[in-house]
Amino acid sequence: MAEIVFNDMNNRDVTAYGALMKCYNMNELPHRSIEIYKNTKQQFIVTHILVLNACAQLGFKVLFENIHEQIPKQYVHHDLMLQNSLIDAYSKCGDVKTAENIFSSISKRDIITYSAMINEYGINDYGLEAVTLFYKIK
């Protein structure tokens, strides 16, 4: 149904693209989310986050890293939601070191940042690090 509504739209904006990509990710169709991202000329933080999540769901680390490199640095360094998504996606791809580097570079972490990193440690068999970080949450 979401596809029908989307296809009937004359003027698609970032909200429309993001909603459809989110729909695909939530319904275990991340490859379609990646297709939308590749075919749209409207790439904003929200579409970057959604395509990163789609790549992580599929374990497409090479594509994920390619997209990460294309995201403007000012977004990567200043958008906490994007940084949290990067931590989550790298963890799902098993890249603990890169996730740790991103986590360390964030000066104003929120509970989602800590949760993403704790989860990253947990799913990659770093239980002690997960518990240690949990006790460092302020």
pLDDT value at residue 61: 86
Low-confidence ranges of the chain (pLDDT < 50): none
Q: Are 120 and 87 in contact (CB under 8 A)?
A: yes
pLDDT value at residue 76: 84
DSSP string, 80-135: HHHHHHHHHHHHHTT-HHHHHHHHHH-SS--HHHHHHHHHHHHHTT-HHHHHHHHT
Tokens of 23: 């729909």
3-state secondary structure of 12: coil
